């Protein structure tokens, strides 16, 4: 029989477990997993159950530099477990298309780049792509938001109180900005902007220079060009 440490280390990675063991082992998390297990049996839920905590597994604590906070997974079946990520490079989601255009403009002077729509390369470099709800039911936007609200608030609060400092946090849109009270603006860099999907739906430019600004600050922090994020 596996221990709680083994159980949670398998789900989120040993490093994230060791950072907040009491959080993962809480009765709230136990009850949340039981509830989710039921919902996966009773309805069509995204992402795949094995990918619920994928954002943590791919972004190791030792590499962690940036937190991009999304809302909830895509409800059409394209959710991967990473906020904003796409499975299909043929037709990017409105949000990711805006992000891609902004990165080309601000970070590569308009040059066309090979873009990783899965965003797994970002995660592996230390970008935690975390939705405020990690699951959703098919075609039912925000259907699991209430399940995850305590999780997100508690995680952000613990992160703000941890020894990890100098983390860059991107809050795009009013939903993400509503979680700002749980962040420590004295030990974190906090960035705010319109949600990229809103810019897309309103057919306007997404005025967000966060990708370039983050890399400029990372170089100043560590005095090492090798530490920047290759968006």
Which residues does the annotation mark as catalytic?
A: 72
Tokens coding 169: 């946090």
What angle do helix axes 210-222 and 94-107 make, rounded to 10 degrees? 50
């Amino acid at each position: 029989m596996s221990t709680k440490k083994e159980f949670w280390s398998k789900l989120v990675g040993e490093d994230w477990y060791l950072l907040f063991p009491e959080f993962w082992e809480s009765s709230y998390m136990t009850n949340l997993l039981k509830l989710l297990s039921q919902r996966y049996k009773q309805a069509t839920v995204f992402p795949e159950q094995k990918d619920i905590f994928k954002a943590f597994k791919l972004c190791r604590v030792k590499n962690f530099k940036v937190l991009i906070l999304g809302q909830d997974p895509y409800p059409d079946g394209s959710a991967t477990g990473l906020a904003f990520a796409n499975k299909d490079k043929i037709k990017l989601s409105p949000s990711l298309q805006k992000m891609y255009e902004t990165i080309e403009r601000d970070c590569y002077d308009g040059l066309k780049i090979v873009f990783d729509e899965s965003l797994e390369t970002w995660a592996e470099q230390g970008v935690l792509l975390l939705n405020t709800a990690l699951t959703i039911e098919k075609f039912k936007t925000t259907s699991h938001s209430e399940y995850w609200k305590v999780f997100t608030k508690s995680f952000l609060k613990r992160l703000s109180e941890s020894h990890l400092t100098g983390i860059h946090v991107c809050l795009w849109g009013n939903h993400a900005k509503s979680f700002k009270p749980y962040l420590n603006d004295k030990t974190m860099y906090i960035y705010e902007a319109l949600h990229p999907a809103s810019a897309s739906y309103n057919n306007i430019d997404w005025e967000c220079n966060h990708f370039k600004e983050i890399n400029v600050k990372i170089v100043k922090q560590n005095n090492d060009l090798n530490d920047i994020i290759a968006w």
